[in-house]
Chain A
């Protein structure tokens, strides 16, 4: 889950979005994986909390005035930290290597 979330942040970052709320992250993961359903609330927010405690993400609550002006609940925005980027790189490197090895084997 953590890798999916970090990958979602990288894709969002490429689209110019650095701060993302939970639903946007869930939607990005769904689009990336081509899934039919969004990640469950429990799985998503438990993972986000764990990642924030690990220092991979940091969060801040939206200004309540903005939320009130738009007549909706306040959003909690998450942002990937440098530690999160390092964690993603180190976790995805073996996957990339395995992918390249299997490609070589088929050639």
Chain B
């Protein structure tokens, strides 16, 4: 049996589980990961014994993961509420701002590419491919920063080091700044990026003197 489609579907599913369980208490997170790992193992084992091809099994695994995404997100929010780990108002505002920025950036990027402006204005001196890839990396910035806020909340609630979470926030913010740098001909991007960097520099300073407490 060709195993790479199975490995890919398994990795994507496990990656999604890691993503949507971020920010939840360690025990709940570990249990969900273990339960899905068991389910994947059973499905591969069962599919193989029924004579299904690796591609078929992988497609079914991937389909189950994708179709369950809305329920996973709803479950995540329910568990957060139950564990009294809801985000503080400041954190909600930060997450909301990053999500807005992320979506706005994606929409803007698509419109930009569709309009053809990018060909004339941005891609004169560099390879389109490299430029496009860099833009995509920068576009991920807001989402990385949101993940950082969630990770910070979780680490804080579990009284662990928030170093990794802060790194994610800084990396995400740098992505936004980089994206804004490429859009030098707009005035909005750099201002937003500078504002965000200034906000987080200030926030990190506050963390050092007064670590955040659970809400």
Contacts and interface: CB of A to CB of B under 8 A. Distances in A.
Contacts of A75: 38, 42
A74 B70 contact: no
Interface in B38-89: 38-39, 41-43, 45-46, 60, 63-72, 74-75
B67 A76 contact: no
Contact of B38 (A40, A44, A76): A76
Contacts of B71: 40, 42-43, 46
Contacts of B210: none
Given A22-B39, A23-B38, A72-B38, A40 B46 contact: no
A44 B43 contact: no
B163 interface: no
A24 B72 contact: no
A44 B68 contact: yes
Nearest to B70: A42
Contacts of B64: 37-41
Contacts of B34: 73-74, 76
Contacts of A21: 38-39, 42
A54 to B, nearest CB: 13
Interface in A1-60: 21-24, 26-27, 37-46, 49
Contacts of B69: 42
Nearest to B75: A46
Contacts of B13: 41
Interface in A74-93: 74-76
A74 B39 CA distance: 10
B65 A76 contact: no
B32 interface: yes
A23 B42 contact: yes
A49 B28 CA distance: 11
Given A22-B38, A42-B75, A76 B68 contact: no
A35 B12 CA distance: 24
B62 to A, nearest CB: 11
Nearest to A36: B60
B44 to A, nearest CB: 10
A22 B36 CA distance: 9
A75 to B, nearest CB: 5
3 shortest A-B CB distances, which residue pairs? A42-B68, A40-B68, A42-B71
Given A27-B46, A42-B70, 20 more contacts: A21-B39, A21-B42, A22-B38, A37-B60, A38-B43, A40-B66, A40-B68, A41-B72, A42-B65, A43-B68, A45-B35, A46-B68, A46-B71, A46-B74, A73-B34, A73-B38, A73-B41, A74-B34, A75-B42, A76-B35
7 contacts: A39-B64, A41-B68, A42-B70, A43-B68, A45-B35, A45-B75, A75-B42
Interface of B: 13, 31-32, 34-39, 41-43, 45-46, 60, 63-72, 74-75
